Amino acid sequence: MIRLADGPMTWVATGDSITQAVLHTHGARGWVEHLHERVRWQLGRLTDVVVNTGVSAWGAADVLAARDHLIGRFEPDVLSVSLGTNDCLAGEDGLPRFHEAMRRIIDGANPRTQVVLHTPALVSASGRERRAALPAYCRAVREIAQDTGALLVDHEAHWLEHHGTNDPIPWLDDPAHPNAAGHLQMANHTLRVMGLGELDPL
């Protein structure tokens, strides 16, 4: 659960194209924009600042290399890190590099920063051969959250709970990118885990 301060807070969400939410929502809000709506309007925190520094096609090592630009200069009260969908293309051989980069991203945060880690969402059946290692990267995120005390938002588990063995096509725009419905699901699941309720009907 996220601890809300009495005064203004800064929220930073960093990650890949799913955080950046380009193209695949076709003009609808991405999950970070929904978070912005909930925090700054529906919860009445008008002077909070929500910054989206997701970069399409990036992985953990890329974010680490640009950490000061994407994260540090904003001195966030809440740091959300959502990576793994691109990292998993390196296969299980890439897990040590992923672990190291993720831990260094977290270690670089101010001790007062509340860190939130996200497992990647599911990919479609047609995308599973290319991203066969994705479940291993989800396990890695869970391990890192447990080891560091970060809050865990487990999108993989949430999507599996809803879709089971069915192809999650209704929540996807292509094999790896959520559509508007998928982003809304990601937002509400994130908000629930953070203890911030759900989006009011828009």
What was the pLDDT predicted at 125? Answer: 97
pLDDT of residue 202: 65
Q: CB atoms < 10 A from the CB of 198, how many?
A: 14
> Helix 95-107 and helix 134-148: axis angle, to 10°?
30
Flag residues of the chain having pLDDT under 50: none
107's CB contacts (< 8 A; 6+ apart) are none
Q: What is the pTM (predicted TM-score) of this model?
A: 0.97
- Backbone φ and ψ for 161, nearest 5 degrees, come out as -60, -35
Please report how many Cα atoms fall inside a 13 Å half-sphere around the Cα of residue 60, on the Cβ side. Answer: 31
Q: In angstroms, rounded to a whole number, what is the distance separating the alpha carbons of residues 118 and 186?
A: 10
